[in-house]
Amino acid sequence: MTTGPEEPFPPPWTLAGFHLGARLALPIMPAMMAFGLAVGATAARKGLSFVDNLLMNAFVYAGMSQLIAMEAWPEQFTIGALAALIVLCVTVNARMLLMGAALHPWLGTSSPWRIYPTLHVLTDPSWLMAMRYRAGGGADAGVLLGSSVVLAIAWLAATSLGYLGGALIVDPRRYGIDLVMPIFFAAMLIPLWRGGRRAIPWIVAGVTAVAIQQLVDGWWFIVVGAIAGSVVGGLIDDAD
Amino acid sequence: MTPIEAADWGIYAALAVMAVATYAMRAGGFWLMRHVPPSPRLKRMLEALPGSVIVATVLPIIVRDGVTAALAIGVAVAVMLLVRRDIFAVIAGMAVAASARAWGM
């Protein structure tokens, strides 16, 4: 594990790792599909065609930004409306810049032909599961690919079903579906626990995020909070 | 150009810019790290990220959503501590969230 900040050899990408990743993704799959049903139903309600919905879920594949974009879906796709969509996707998904950066010490020596397509299907749960696997000493990049691909397939199925059965689905808030991701996130803190000293950055991240949330509209709080935590993590040395 | 024609290509332009902007976030951080020299400090910064992203996401949601989110997330963490299986933590948290909302919280 302690071979330095950059691994000297490319990590393996095995079928066994892919299977392990797929298995690790199963617990979050029902929750992700519940969220996908809601996103598909919203697309139908907003008048997108079935194919438009499928394309959005295959190529954008970022549920929260899709929901917010569709809630204010433009009537006319002017340059201004397109620019607003870009700003929205960047702010809601800026945390993915950090997620990708955190994968680099592990996967930086992989072939670009493998890693860049894999990054397209990267999601919060598959990233968290892969980071947890990595923190436990695992090195097989197939785990990240397996969990990501399985969740992407589940997402396409759920959003298409949600589109077709949209009228049957009510407000996701009513069943607490909007809380699925925070619930899963919080549970994943436990296996990441490495003692109180390593939790100081987490506290800084949380306090900063809450402060930013109060001060600034939008979704900047995640990325600003996470950067604050990361900087503090860099300042706390390993001496213990 | 009529608005109908505009709407025709407009949706594809919208999907394209959303897809490109989102992929830039997914791949951009990884790509940028190629140009940052590795160091022990950078390694510690990256190791602090998973927990920091989690707390920076979850805590503001608890603050905004109030009792329901706090209860559901608290129960999920407690179940995870006890049984160490994320599936049970998610089920327990969702059960609390759904019942709290059903009770009108």
Residue B10's closest CA among A75, A71, A54, A43?
A75
Tell me which of A192, A210, A227 is where a domain ends.
Answer: A192
> What pLDDT shows up at residue A7?
54
**Do B32 and B53 share a domain, yes or no?**
no
Q: Hey, are the CB atoms on B87 and A221 less than 8 Å from each other?
A: no
What gap in Å lies between CA A223 and CA A22, rounded to an integer? 28
Residue A85's closest CA among A99, A72, A101, A96?
A72
> What pLDDT shows up at residue B82?
96
Q: Which residues of B touch A105 (CB under 8 A)?
A: 38, 43, 46
Q: How many domains does chain A have?
A: 2
What gap in Å lies between CA A44 and CA A145, rounded to an integer? 30
Q: Which residues of B touch A221 (CB under 8 A)?
A: 56, 60
Q: Which of A102, A176, A238 sits opposite B50 (nearest CB)?
A: A102
* B80 contacts: CB under 8 Å, gap ≥ 6: A187, A190, B86, B88, B89
**Do B47 and B86 share a domain, yes or no?**
yes
> Is A7 within a domain?
no
Nearest CA in chain A to B34: A108
Q: Hey, are the CB atoms on A189 and B46 less than 8 Å from each other?
A: no
Q: Which of B54, B64, B94 sits opposite A188 (nearest CB)?
A: B54
**Do A212 and A174 share a domain, yes or no?**
no
> What pLDDT shows up at residue A1?
43
Which structural domain range is residue B47 located in?
Answer: 42-105
**Do A165 and A48 share a domain, yes or no?**
yes
**Do B58 and B12 share a domain, yes or no?**
no
**Do B27 and B49 share a domain, yes or no?**
no
Q: How far is CA A63 from CA A3, A24, A68, A237, in A?
A: 37, 21, 9, 37
The whole-angstrom distance between B103's CA and the closest CA on chain A is 10
The whole-angstrom distance between A98's CA and the closest CA on chain B is 6
What pTM was computed for the model?
A: 0.88
The pair of structure tokens assigned to B77 is 């963490």
Q: Which of A28, A187, A202 sits opposite B52 (nearest CB)?
A: A202
Interface probe with A: pick from B47, B65, B75, B84, most Cβ of A within 10 Å: B47
Please give the DSSP secondary-structure letter assigned to residue A168: G
Neighbours of A136 (CB within 10 A): 9
**Do A114 and A126 share a domain, yes or no?**
yes
Assess contact for A155 and A43: CB atoms under 8 A.
no
**Do B62 and B82 share a domain, yes or no?**
yes
Q: What are the pLDDT digits (tens) for B79-98?
A: 999 999 888 999 999 999 99
Q: Is A192 helix (H, G, I), strand (E, B) or coil?
A: helix
**Do B58 and B73 share a domain, yes or no?**
yes
Report the mean per-residue pLDDT for chain B.
90
Q: Is B76 helix (H, G, I), strand (E, B) or coil?
A: helix
> What pLDDT shows up at residue A167?
62
What gap in Å lies between CA A148 and CA A154, rounded to an integer? 10
**Do A181 and A213 share a domain, yes or no?**
no
**Do A108 and A209 share a domain, yes or no?**
no
> Is A84 within a domain?
yes
> What pLDDT shows up at residue B68?
93
**Do A225 and A137 share a domain, yes or no?**
no
**Do A76 and A175 share a domain, yes or no?**
yes
**Do B91 and B74 share a domain, yes or no?**
yes
Q: Which residues of B touch A135 (CB under 8 A)?
A: 50
**Do B77 and B63 share a domain, yes or no?**
yes
Q: Hey, are the CB atoms on B86 and A187 less than 8 Å from each other?
A: yes
Interface probe with A: pick from B39, B52, B64, B86, most Cβ of A within 10 Å: B52
Which structural domain range is residue A220 located in?
Answer: 194-240
> Is A114 within a domain?
yes
**Do A178 and A200 share a domain, yes or no?**
no
**Do A45 and A127 share a domain, yes or no?**
yes
Q: Hey, are the CB atoms on B26 and A96 less than 8 Å from each other?
A: yes
**Do B66 and B97 share a domain, yes or no?**
yes
> Is A9 within a domain?
no
**Do A93 and A178 share a domain, yes or no?**
yes
- Residue B34: what are its φ and ψ, rounded to 5°? -60, -25
The whole-angstrom distance between B100's CA and the closest CA on chain A is 8
What gap in Å lies between CA B42 and CA B51, rounded to an integer? 16
> What pLDDT shows up at residue A177?
80
> Is A36 within a domain?
yes
Average pLDDT per run of 10 along chain A, which is 240 residues long?
Answer: 56 96 92 88 92 97 92 90 94 94 95 96 95 93 98 97 79 78 91 90 97 91 95 82
**Do A153 and A89 share a domain, yes or no?**
yes
**Do A137 and A224 share a domain, yes or no?**
no
**Do B23 and B71 share a domain, yes or no?**
no
> What pLDDT shows up at residue B2?
45
Q: What are the pLDDT digits (tens) for B12-57?
A: 999 999 999 999 999 999 999 999 998 999 999 999 999 999 999 9
Burial class (CB in 10 A: 0-12, 13-18, 19+), A107: buried
> What pLDDT shows up at residue A169?
62
**Do B23 and B65 share a domain, yes or no?**
no
Q: How many domains does chain B have?
A: 2
The whole-angstrom distance between A234's CA and the closest CA on chain B is 4
**Do B46 and B5 share a domain, yes or no?**
no
